[in-house]
Amino acid sequence: MATPTRNRNTTNDSGADKPNKFANAGAAAGGFVGGIGGSFAPPINITLNRTTNSDGGSGGGMQGGRPHAEALLPAPEFTSPAQVRQYCNTLRAAAVALSIEVAMGSEILKGVLAAVPDPQGRAFGSRIRAQKVARKMQRSADALRDAAMNAAACYSAFQQEFEEEINRVRHRARRPQVPQMNWTQQ
């Protein structure tokens, strides 16, 4: 319930108690959200972008705040299996993220273009034209998803094809066996 507060208006010296309408607004909102929290889960997307300018502001940095393609992937130096794995995992993660972004962009583009009136006045004419345009962007999202799958398959194929070389070095990289405590002998 709202709690009464003293009216502090200097023109009205009656000193009457007035209910404070906004005193428990937070509690009311919390009760509302808590009441529907079990059945309603809104989609929330959080994107954090951190850009640093390492060239000292000489004008050769990023244009428009977007990183270049070189910033998305590590350098293609494949001198160890770990670098192959890192490159493939980074490529897969970037392709998955871009695929999701492009698919959302496709849906947004379709919605925006569907709102444009059709020049011939045809029913659903704008929706059909918007679908034709957005289909191309959706195919781009599908291609990015396929690129992510192929990046994962690339590392898998690397492991299969070079299993002998990997295992030859792997046994040397193992830690020596540490004697374990045998609790059954007492």
Q: Which of the given ranges, 18-27, 111-120, 169-178, has the highest pLDDT on average? A: 111-120
Paired residues of 18 in beta bridges: 5
Model pLDDT, residue 22: 52
Helix/strand/coil for 83? helix
> Sign of torsion, CA 67 72 76 80?
positive
Between residues 136 and 11, the one the model is more confident about: 136
pTM beyond 0.85, yes or no: no
Q: What is the mean pLDDT of residues 159-176?
A: 74
**Where does residue 134 rank: exposed (0-12), middle (13-18), buried (19+ CB within 10 A)?**
buried
Q: What is the mean pLDDT of residues 111-128?
A: 83
Q: Is a pLDDT exceeding 90 seen at residue 99? A: yes
